[in-house]
Homo-oligomer: A and B are copies of this chain.
Amino acid sequence: MTAAEAVEAIQREMTAFARRARASAGRMHPELSLVSYTLLGHLEERGGCRATDLAAHYALDKSTVSRQVAALERAGLIERRVDPDDHRVQVLHLTGAGRQLLAQVTESRRAAFRERLADWPDEDLARFAGYLIRYNAWTPPGTTDA
């Protein structure tokens, strides 16, 4: 495979993957969309953050985040705590139920990935993971990374 062919294949395969991801994610976990899952994961990882931070991080409009957050709150998965220092900001936190559902969905996603990758040699797994991390870490030139 030449370098040009490889780039071509990477493009094709990443596109194919992206095409399927949302649909299959939706079918796997009707109760938690890919976006919601990602937002909950971010909250867990950071231990709470503002809606504006989520919007910036995922390149979503603040209105979109606002509605997602409202839905997650309605579902009892997150709660808002008004920042005492600045009454405009609401710091978002996972609730117990949110943490639990997140763990559950994460586990089931992990199981699906494990099955899919079951017969890969360890060395290939590590290299593939490394490539993906490297691929995703790339930022367009001139971008100040946040």
Contact surface of A with B, Cβ cutoff 8 Å: 1-3, 5-11, 13-23, 25, 34-35, 37-38, 58-60, 109-110, 113-114, 116-117, 120, 122, 124-136, 138
Contacts and interface: CB of A to CB of B under 8 A. Distances in A.
A124 to B, nearest CB: 7
A6 B122 contact: yes
B132 A17 contact: yes
Contact of A59 (B10, B23, B59, B126): B23
B10 A21 contact: no
A67 B70 CA distance: 31
A9 to B, nearest CB: 4
29 contacts: A1-B125, A1-B126, A3-B122, A5-B129, A6-B122, A6-B128, A7-B110, A7-B113, A7-B117, A8-B110, A9-B129, A10-B125, A10-B132, A13-B135, A14-B113, A15-B21, A15-B34, A15-B109, A17-B18, A17-B132, A17-B135, A18-B18, A18-B22, A18-B25, A19-B58, A20-B58, A127-B131, A128-B128, A128-B135
